[in-house]
Each structure stands twice: as structure tokens, then as C-alpha cells.
Amino acid sequence: MVEHDEGYIRAGSKGTKIDGRDGLRTIPSRRGLLRGPGRGTYKKDTPMMTVAYQRADNTERDCVVYNVHEDGKKLADIVEETVELGSRVYTDEYKAYSSLGKRSYEHETVNHSKGEYASGEDNKIHTNNCECLVGLLK
């Protein structure tokens, strides 16, 4: 069982330029024209990263963080590179994952837009571990 999710990292530090103690200065992320509607991109100063988290019954856990640049890879291609074919993959309902079932994966989803964060028997279908890792990496 593998969870897979994506996140967007804001490049640069948050905030404005402020002289701090000892003359230290923070460099803010670029603001203005780079960001716009839609998902983040490397050009918009918010590059995408993906996280694959392997659930295991014992203490062995695997986590892969993949930084997506402008190489044109689709999320389903990244899943195929990091997850063994035939595995059960849990994702959200983002359309980029829709072809996983056709690629020999057992693909199950949660629908965050409807307030669903866990589903299935014993709420086993979720991406909460990946969401946590994305939050920590931001």
C-alpha cells in the first residue's frame, strides 16, 4: 500500500525584508507577476514536489520525495517510477492520477473537495501521511 500526494513549495522565505538582530536580513520570496491562477510551477516560484509513502505492517517504512521541475513528467509517470506495478495506490482525486488504474495499479481515492479525508473499511484509504510530510517539508 502506497500513498501518493503532491505539494507546492514557496521558494524563498516568507515575509518582507526586515533587518533583524546582528544585521541579519531575510530575503522574501518573489511577489507579484510570477504567481497567478492555477497550480504552482517552477516558473511561478512555487515548484511542485511529490511524496510517496509506503505503509508497512512492521517498522519498515519507505518515503520518497521527488522534486518536479520543468521536465514535463506527469504525476502518473512519477508514480510508475517510484511504485511497483500492481501495488495498491491511494491518492486524492486530482485528475493527473486518473490513469493509474489503466497502468496496472489498484487505485483508490479520497475526495478532499467533498470533505472526505479517509474512506473505505476502517478508513484505510487516505493520504494523511503524505499530507503531513508535505506540511513538514514546507
> Is the confidence at residue 131, as pLDDT, over 70?
yes
18 phi/psi in degrees, rounded to 5: -140, 130
Provide the residue ranges of all domains of the chain, joining segments of one domain with +: 2-12+45-137
CA atoms of 134 and 65, how far apart (whole Å): 9
Strongest mean pLDDT among 2-16, 86-100, 124-138: 86-100
8 Å CB contact between 43 and 54: no
* Confidence (pTM): 0.72
Q: Which helix (H) or strand (E) holds 130?
A: helix 128-137
8 Å CB contact between 131 and 2: no
What would the grid cell of residue 123 be? Answer: 478508513
Mean pLDDT on 101-123: 92
Mean pLDDT on 25-53: 62
User: How does residue 33 score in pLDDT terms, banded at 50, 70 and 90?
Assistant: very low
pLDDT above 70 as % of the chain: 64
